[in-house]
Structures are given as structure tokens and as C-alpha cells.
Structure 1
Amino acid sequence: MAANDYRAYLRNHIDMEEAPARAPHTGSTHRALIFGTLAVMALLQVASSVAILLHLTGYLREVDLASPQQSPNEEMHSETLIGDQMNSSTKDKTKKVPSAHLPIKTPIDLLPNENGLTQIAWDGMKAENLKRMKYKDNRIIVDSPGYYYVYAKTCFRYHEIHSSEKVNISNIELGQYIYHEKHSRSEPPTVLAKSSGTPEWNIKKYNKYCMEQGRGVRLEKDDRIYVKVSNAQLLDPAVEETYFGCFKISK
């Protein structure tokens, strides 16, 4: 009986000594789980914040999975091809547009005067000055019928030093006239545009006056247009100052 009591006493004493050792082990396990959970939650919070920031700044974009995406090089190549094709079409279209731009022929060849007006001779020998149009007898000849814009600019000048004779320019009248001559020639030429005036020159050693005009008109095949001026002896021979031309704007 006494032996059994002693064994029980020893067993209880051993259990009491082991109990404090097990308690700390259980508490540290709970703390590790709590810290691990908090760490995972913190990482998720950081990842979520980064994702929102990237989305707001535009780094994350919606992707259309239904259609394949082109690389930047492919997109640039496509845009280049489209641009080249458009430029090529524009250049081809421009080459086909009937047009003429003729500078004054130098030295100036004064034609016979009719009613105080002289027809101007132009430089129509250069191929680049005429596109699908002809030039003959100081006239531009239409090859493709349609609506055209016709223009002309003439400059007059008087340089006393280079003049062989004195000319009274105090009340001189200068005029520019654009004529339309129909291909049938069944009726007299009509005046498409007219500009005239008496400039108030200061009677200096050098005087200059320019006139420029233009208008749209319907021209048929083989119709002709030409320019006449008054006081042609005062025409400025500079090719960039005095010129005549037209271009087709529609059918």
C-alpha cells in the first residue's frame, strides 16, 4: 500500500515538472502561425497595391484575346507601306493632271500690235512646263476637256538708264487680258479676265508695276488660251515675274 502511494506521488511529480516544458512549446507554435499569416496578408496587400498602381499608370492594358497582336515593328512596317502607297497614288495622280506653266520668252519678242494690244510669246519649249497640253503660236492648246483654272501674271518696268528713248510714263495705262479661243473658231475669242489701270509712279529712274489674275472656265478639246497686254515694250523679262498657265480642276 505504501509502495503504491509512493509510485503515485512520483508520477504526479514527474507530470508537474513536464507540464511547464510543454506549455511554452504550444505557445511558440501559435505565435509562429500568427506571424506567418500576417506576413502573407502583408505580401498580398503589397501585391494588390502594386497592381492598382500599374493599372492607373497605364502599364497594364486590356488585351483582346480574340485577335492576334502586332509587334511594334510590324505596326510601323504596315504604316510605312500605307503611307508609301498613298504618296505613290498622289504622285501618279498629279502626273496625270493636265497643266501648263509658261514663263515669258526671253529676249522678249514683240508681236504685231492690234488695237493697242500685243500678244505675249511664252517659253513652251521645255517639256516640264507642259503636261498633257500643247503650245503653239503663243497659245496653250487644251488636250483633255474639263474645268480649268487659268492664271496670268505680268510685270512692267521702266528703267531710264537702259532705255534708248525717253518714254512719258506719267499717265500711261497698263492692261492685261486673258483670251479664250474655241476650237471651232466659229466665233471671235472671248475675254476670260481683264486687269488694267494707270499706276501712280513716282517718275523715278526705275519703276515697276505688276498685275495678276485668274479664274475657272470650261475648256473643250483643242480650245486655246492666250494673253495680250498694252505697252508691251515695258514688260519685265524676269521669268519669275511674268508667266502664264492653267491646270485642270475637274471633268
Structure 2
Amino acid sequence: MNPRSLQTSCHSEDYWKRALMAANDYRGYLRNHTAMENGEARLHAAHSTHRPLIFGTLAVMGLLQIASSVTILLHLTGYLHEVNLSSTETVKEAQSEHIMADALRDIRKKDKPRKKDSIPVAHLSVKTPIDFSKTDPNAVTTVYWDELRGTLNKIRYHDGRLLMEEQGLYYVYAKTCFRYAPDHATKKQDVSNVQLIQYIYHEIHTQSKMRPVLLSKSGGTLQWGNQSYNMYCVQQGRSARLKASDGIFVNVSNSRLLDPEPEGTYFGAFKMSN
């Protein structure tokens, strides 16, 4: 074999070797490319397979979070409601205690005994024994009262008169009863036409001359027969503005017929305001 033919043969052999290596490299490329595509496909398939699981997990977590939030909200709402009720009950209890305290305070005030001299007041019954048998039937007589058995607070008594110690608006009252029983009379009297009148007078102490002012009068003319018992009562009252040291007293007509029983004949006054 000549050198040219040998060289040509060597070149051909090198060519085929390179071609074979290139083919092997191409097959390796194809194999690697296929493996890569298969790996991506598997990864994509894996992603496709796990996607519902992921979404489900996220959905469950979301629902759990919502449920937890709702539970917390309900708990807080219930707590606030309890706090509100507790506050309301506390306010109601405080108000009830305040009302009860006021009521108890009012009751204590009402039940608390007043001082003896807190309000000017007087109540006296007729003084017994009395004997007006010798008096003139047509005369007007001052009635005298029993100061030892009556009530006198900030009002004095003297000579048939109640004397004020404080000025103010007073209510003045008097009641007198007259009776006649022929069988028990010391002497027979004509009572077929008798006037029985009661007068309440006011004496003003600032006057230079005591001229009593008539506050009120009441009574009537009676025609009593000879029955075993006759009785007639006069009762009256009115308000009057009196000053300190002013006096009030009671006069009656036909005092000889005055009933000596203290339950039927009495006189009094009490202060209503300044």
C-alpha cells in the first residue's frame, strides 16, 4: 500500500470515529433532553396532583381561622353583654340602695320625736268646778281654762287668755257645750227661748287701750222644753295672724248653762307658719 492510500485510509478511520462520537453525543443529548422533559412532566404532574390538596388545606385553614374569629367575637360579645348587664345591675342596685336610704331617712325623720317646744301649741279644757248660776243671763262671760291639765308649748296662759310667745299664722279653735236638766238644776230656769253664743276674741298687745277684736262667733237660739235633758254645742275655728304677746280668749252667753265636762268644752291654738 502506498503512502497516499494509507493516509486516505487513516483519514477515513478518523472521520468515522468522529462521526461515531458525534452520534454518541447526539444520542446522549437526546437522552438528557428526554430525561429533562420527563422530569419536568413528572414535576408538572406532581404539581397537578398536589394542587387540590394545597387548595383544600388552605380552605380548611381559612375556615378554621374564620371559626376562631367568630368564636372570639361571640366570646367578646357575651363578655361585653355580661359586663353591660353587670354594670346595669350595679347601677340599679346603687339606685335601689339610694332610694332605700332616702326612704329610711324619711322614715327616721317622721319617727324622730320632735322637741317639746318645736311648735307653739296649746290645748286646754274648761276649768272645773264652775258656778255661773249667779251671772246675768244676758251677760257675756269669759271662760276660764285648766292650765294644769292641758298642753302649753311656747304659748302661755293667764286669766282666761292664751298669750303667744312667737308671731306667726295660727289656727285658733274652741268648743263649748251647754246643757240643762230640770230635774238636776239648782233652780228652775226659763229655757223656752235661750241664746247660746260663743265668741273668740283677739287682744293686740301694742294697742294703748286693750280693745279686743272679734275673730269669730257662732251659736243659736234654742227653745228647750221641760224634757229631762237638753244639750247644745258650738264649735268653730279659723286662722289668725298673731304677734308675740298677743292674746286670745273665749266668751259665751248664758254661761250658767255651760257644760263642765272637759271633753265637751275646750280651747286651743297652734302655729301653722311664720
Counterpart residue identity of residue 214, structure 2: V
Q: How does 1:29-44 map to 2 (within 5 A)?
A: none
Q: How does 1:39-50 map to 2 (within 5 A)?
A: none
Counterpart residue identity of residue 208, structure 2: S
Counterpart residue identity of residue 218, structure 1: R
Unaligned runs of at least 5 residues, structure 2: 1-83
Higher mean Cα deviation, 186-195 or 168-177?
A: 186-195
Indicate how the Cα distance of structure 1 residues 111 and 159 shifts in structure 2: closer, same or farther if over 3 A, else same. closer
SS in 2 for 1:125: helix
Q: How does 1:100-249 map to 2 (within 5 A)?
A: 100-108=122-130, 110=132, 116-126=139-149, 129-187=151-209, 188-249=211-272
**Contact 1:179–1:190, Cα closer than 8 Å, also in 2:** yes
Matches of 1:194 and 1:241, distance apart in 2: 17
Shift of 1:223: 0.4
Shift of 1:82: 2.0
Matches of 1:97 and 1:109, distance apart in 2: 34
SS in 2 for 1:233: helix
**Contact 2:203–2:213, Cα closer than 8 Å, also in 1:** yes
SS in 1 for 2:148: coil
Counterpart residue identity of residue 197, structure 2: G
Give the structure with higher Rg (CA).
2
Identity of aligned residues (%): 42
Shift of 1:238: 1.0
Shift of 1:221: 0.4
Shift of 1:217: 0.8
Shift of 1:185: 3.8
Matches of 1:199 and 1:112, distance apart in 2: 21
Higher mean Cα deviation, 62-71 or 219-228?
A: 62-71
Shift of 1:197: 1.5
Matches of 1:215 and 1:175, distance apart in 2: 17
Larger helix share, 1 or 2: 2
Indicate how the Cα distance of structure 1 residues 203 and 113 shifts in structure 2: closer, same or farther if over 3 A, else same. closer
Deviation digits for residues 191-235 of structure 1 (CA, Å, limit 9, x no counterpart):
111113212334311100011111111100000111111111111
Shift of 1:250: 1.0
Indicate how the Cα distance of structure 1 residues 112 and 95 shifts in structure 2: closer, same or farther if over 3 A, else same. farther
Deviation digits for residues 145-189 of structure 1 (CA, Å, limit 9, x no counterpart):
001111111000001121111011000111111111111242411
Counterpart residue identity of residue 190, structure 1: V
